[in-house]
Amino acid sequence: MKLNDIYASSLALLTDLYQLTMAYGYWKQGMAEREAVFNLYFRKNPFGGGYTVAAGLEYVVNYLQELQFREDDLAYLASLEGNAGRPLFETAFLDYLRNMRFSCTVDAIPEGTAVFPGEPLVRVRGPLLQAQLIETPLLTIINFQTLIATKAARITDAAKGDQVMEFGMRRAQGIDGALAATRAAYVGGADATSNLLAGKLFDIPVRGTHAHSWVQAFDSEQEAFEAYGKAFPKDSVFLVDTYDTLEGVRHAIKTAQKLQPLGFVFGGIRLDSGDLTYLSVEARKLLDAAGFTDASIVASNDLDEHIITSLKSEGARINAWGVGTRMVTAYDQPALGGVYKLAAIRQDNGDWDYKIKLSEQRAKTSTPGILQVRRFYDGDGYQADMIYNLAEPLPQKQIIVDPLDSTRRKSVAPGTRYKDLLEPIFEQGKLVYTLPDLKAIKAKTKTELNLLHESIRRYLNPHSYPAGLEESLHQYKINLILKLRGENTNA
C-alpha cells in the first residue's frame, strides 16, 4: 500500500509555510546544499507510561519516495504574496523546487520497537534545504502513529491475551485519523478492526456485530436476533443491551437454540452499557447453563487499559474487547510532542559544527551530534539505552548519563551485548530498506514489550528504563551550553 493510494494529489505542500520561507532563505543565502543533520525525537513517554512504541515509518518512506513539487504546487506557491503585495517567492526559487529530487540519507528505528525519551526515531542527513522541508510531514506522521501504537500496546497488555478489536472509526479525527489510527492500533497489538477501508488497505482482519438500530428496526428483539442469525449463521454476535441486557441474553440463547438444527454457530454476545462486571458474570451463567460454553462475551463502551484492568480485577467474564474512542483518539493525551531539531551542519572546511537548541527547561534543550542509539541487553531482556555521537570515537569505558539528572549514571560492563537501533532507510535519496509486513511489525511490538521488565510496563508509577547520553557526549553538551551562555567551561 502506497500513501498516495489514499491521497492521489501531491503531498509536497503537506507542510507549514515557515518550512518554505526558511527554504527560500537558505537558497537566497547559498546554503541550500550545505550538509546538515536533524534528529526527530520526543521528550516524554505518553500516558504517564514507562515506554513508547515507534510507528509510522512506512508512511514516511512512502512520502519521501514521492516527494516532488508538481506544477500545481508551484503555481500555488507563485500565487502567494507578502505584505507588500509582491510574490513571496522568486521564480528562480520555484524553478529550484521544480528540479529538486530527494537526496537525503535517512536512518530510523524500525516500527514496533520500544523507544524512550530523547532517542532519535529518525535521523536525516543531507542538503539543509531538503532536510528542513520534511520536518512537518515527518512529525505529523510519526507523532500520531507512535502515540496510537503506544496506547494500543497498553490496552492489549491490559487484556492479557484476550482478543482486542479496534472500534473507533466513528470517533476518530477525520478520515486520515481513522485510517492512520487503525494501522497504528494494529502495530500496537490490536487483533482486528471494524474499519473496512483500513482492512482493505492494510490487510488487517475486520470484525463487527450489529448496532442497536438493527434491533429497533424489528418488532421485537427476538425477531431481530433470528433475522440476523439467518443472515449470518456462522458469524453472529448479538448486541444484547438495547432494552434489557439479561433479557437480551436470554433472547440470544433462544435464537441460538432455535437455529442450531439449521447449522447455526453461536458466536456470542456483546455488552455495550451498564455494569459490565455484573452483567458479564450473569451472562456467562446463562450461556453456560444453556450449553453455550464457547460463546464469547464481547465488551465495548469507552474502554481503555485502566477500565479493562479494573474489570478483570473485579472478576468480569469478558474474553473480547471492542475498544474505540479512547484508543484511536489517545483520549487521555492528545499529542506525543515529538520534535525535529538541527544537530549538526557541515563547515566549509569539512568539519562538523554541532548545534544545540537551549531552553530554560532542561528537557527542551536538544542534544548535538549525529546521534545513534545503542541498546544493551542480556538473557533477561533489555537493560539500558545509550545515545552517542557517530562522528566521535567512543571511550573504552561506557557510562550512560541521565540527561535530566547528571547524578544518575549507569556503567556498562565490558562485553555486554548490544545492537544499534537506527537502521539505514535511504542513502542519498535511494531506498535501501525493505519495508516489513504489517503483521511482522505487530509481532515485533509484542516481542519488544516482552523484553522490557514488567515494572516498566505497568500503568501507575512505572519504573524508569535507563536511557541517556554517553558520558563524553553529555559532557560535550554541557560545555556547549556553557559556551553559548558565555560561561567559563574550564572552571
Q: Does residue 490 lie within any of the structural domains?
A: no
Mean pLDDT, residues 224-235 taken together? 97
In a domain, 382, yes or no: yes
Beta-strand relationship, 192-193 and 163-166: parallel
**Domain extent at residue 165:** 149-328
pLDDT one-digit tens code per residue, 320-337:
999 999 999 999 999 999
User: CA 441, CA 466: separation in Å to the nearest integer?
Assistant: 24
Domain end, chosen from 328, 347, 367, is at: 328
* pLDDT tens readout for residues 348-370: 999 999 999 998 787 789 999 99
Q: How many helices (H) and strands (E) does the chain have?
A: 17, 21
- CA–CA distance from 179 to each of 3, 67, 77, 168, 174 (Å)? 11, 21, 29, 10, 9
Are residues 170 and 306 located together in one domain of the fold? yes
Amino acid making up residue 12: A
The answer to whether residue 307 scores a pLDDT higher than 90 is: yes
Q: Taking each helix axis from N to C terminus, what angle separates 174-188 and 135-159, rounded to the nearest 10 degrees?
A: 50
Give me the number of domains the chain comprises: 2
295 and 348 housed in the same domain: no
Judgement on whether residues 177 and 110 belong to the same structural domain of the protein: no
Instruction: Report pLDDT for 3.
Output: 59
How many other C-beta atoms lie within 10 A of the C-beta of residue 463? Answer: 13
Based on the fold, state whether residues 104 and 132 are members of the same structural domain. yes
pLDDT given for residue 10 in this prediction = 86
pLDDT per position as a tens digit, 421-452? 999 999 999 999 999 999 999 999 999 999 99
Same domain flag for 473 and 357: yes
Q: Where among 328, 360, 395 does a domain terminate?
A: 328
In a domain, 415, yes or no: yes
Is the pLDDT at 491 greater than 50? The verdict is no
CA geometry: angle at 143 spanning 137 and 148, to 5°? 130
> 307: domain CATH number?
3.20.20.70
**Distance, CA of 251 to CA of 256 (rounded, Å):** 9
Q: Which residues make Cβ contacts (< 8 Å) with residue 200, sequence separation at least 6?
A: none
Give pLDDT, residue 160.
Answer: 96
The CATH number given to whatever domain includes residue 90 is 3.20.140.10
Q: What is the pLDDT of residues 89-145, one digit of tens each?
A: 999 999 999 999 999 999 999 999 999 999 999 999 999 999 999 999 999 999 999
365: its cell numbers: 534543550
489 falls within a domain: no
Q: Give 146-177 pLDDT, tens digit per residue.
A: 999 999 999 999 999 999 999 999 999 999 89
The region of weakest confidence among 211-215, 395-399, 446-450 is 395-399
Mean pLDDT of the residues in the chain: 95
Instruction: Please report the pLDDT score of residue 222 as a whole number.
Output: 96
Tell me what pLDDT residue 2 has.
66
Where residue 460 falls among pLDDT bands split at 50, 70, 90? Answer: confident
pLDDT of residue 485: 87
